[in-house]
Structure 1
Amino acid sequence: MIPVELPASGVVVCESNRTRADLYELWLDDREVRRALTRSQFVEAFDAGIAVVVVEHSFGDGGAEPVLERVGAEAPHCRVAGIRDRSTATPEPRYDREIERPVFEAELADSVESLFNRANYHLLLDLYYRTTVVISAYEWRADGDPSDDERYGRLRDRADRIQDYLNELRPRMSDEDVRAVARGITIADVADAADGEASIESKYRPDACSRCGQDWSEPIDGGDSAARLAAYVWRCVNCGHVDMRADPNHRHVSSFRR
Structure 2
Amino acid sequence: MGTISSNEPLSSEPERRSAVEGLPPLLAEAFVLGGRECQSQVAASIPGEMPDRQFDSVDAYVDALSGQVALAVLSVELPDDRLERVVRETLRASEHARIVLVATDGAELLRCEVPYDDAFVLPADRESFDVAIEKLYVQAYYSLILDRYYRIGLAINNHDTTAEQDGESEDGKLRQWQAKHRRLRSYLDRFRQFLGPESFRAIATRGERFDDLVGSAGQQGNPSAIGLPESCPDCGLDWTTWHDSKLGTGHEQIGAKTWRCTRCGHTLADDDPKNYRIG
Give the TM-score of the pair, scaled to structure 1.
0.70
CA contact (8 A) 2:38 2:75 kept: no
Alignment map for 1:159-198 (pairs within 5 Å): 159-184=181-206, 196-197=238-239
- Residue 263 of structure 2 is aligned with which of 193, 199, 204? 204
Distance in 2, Cα, partners of 1:114 & 1:98: 13
Pairing partner for 1:41 from 37, 56, 60: 60
Aligned to 1:103: 124
Change in CA separation of 1:196 and 1:75 when aligned onto 2, cut-off 3 Å: same
| Equivalent position amino acid for 1:162 in 2 | L
Residue matched to 2:275: 238
Please identify, of 36-45 and 164-173, the stretch whose mean Cα deviation from structure 2 is larger: 36-45
Give 1:45-194 correspondences, 5 Å limit. 45-59=64-78, 63-84=82-103, 85-88=105-108, 90-143=111-164, 148-184=170-206
How far did residue 158 of structure 1 move?
1.4
On the 8 A contact 1:81/1:111 being kept in 2, the answer is no
Give me the identity figure in percent: 19
For residues 196-240 of structure 1, give each alpha carbon's deviation from its aligned partner in whole angstroms, at most 9, with x where no partner exists: 3467613223244xxxxxxx2x32xxx3x33xxxxxxxxxx128x
| Unaligned residue ranges in structure 2 (runs of 5+) | 1-20, 216-230, 241-248, 252-260
Uncovered stretches (5+) of structure 1, i.e. residues with no partner: 209-215, 227-236, 244-258
Does the CA-based 8 Å contact 1:38-1:60 persist in structure 2? Answer: no
Counterpart CA distance in 1 for 2:187 and 2:107 is 42
Judge conservation of contact 2:98–2:137 (CA < 8 Å) in 1: yes
- Give secondary structure in 1 for the equivalent of 2:133: helix
Q: Residues 107 and 14 of structure 1: is their aligned pair in 2 closer, same or farther, counting only changes over 3 Å?
A: farther
Aligned residues: 215
- CA RMSD in angstroms, aligned pairs only: 3.4
Spell out the pairing of 1:22-41 with structure 2 (5 A cutoff). Answer: 22-28=40-46, 30=48, 31-41=50-60
Partners of 1:92 and 1:47 lie apart in 2 by 25
Aligned residues of 2:80 and 2:114 also touching (Cα < 8 A): no
Query: What are the superposed Cα offsets for residues 148-193 of structure 1, whole Å, 9 maximum, x if unpaired?
Result: 41111011111122112222223111212122222346997xx999
Structure 2 residue 39 is matched with structure 1 residue 21: yes
**Partner Cα distance (2:206, 2:79) in 1:** 28
Say yes or no: does 1:4 pair with 2:41: no
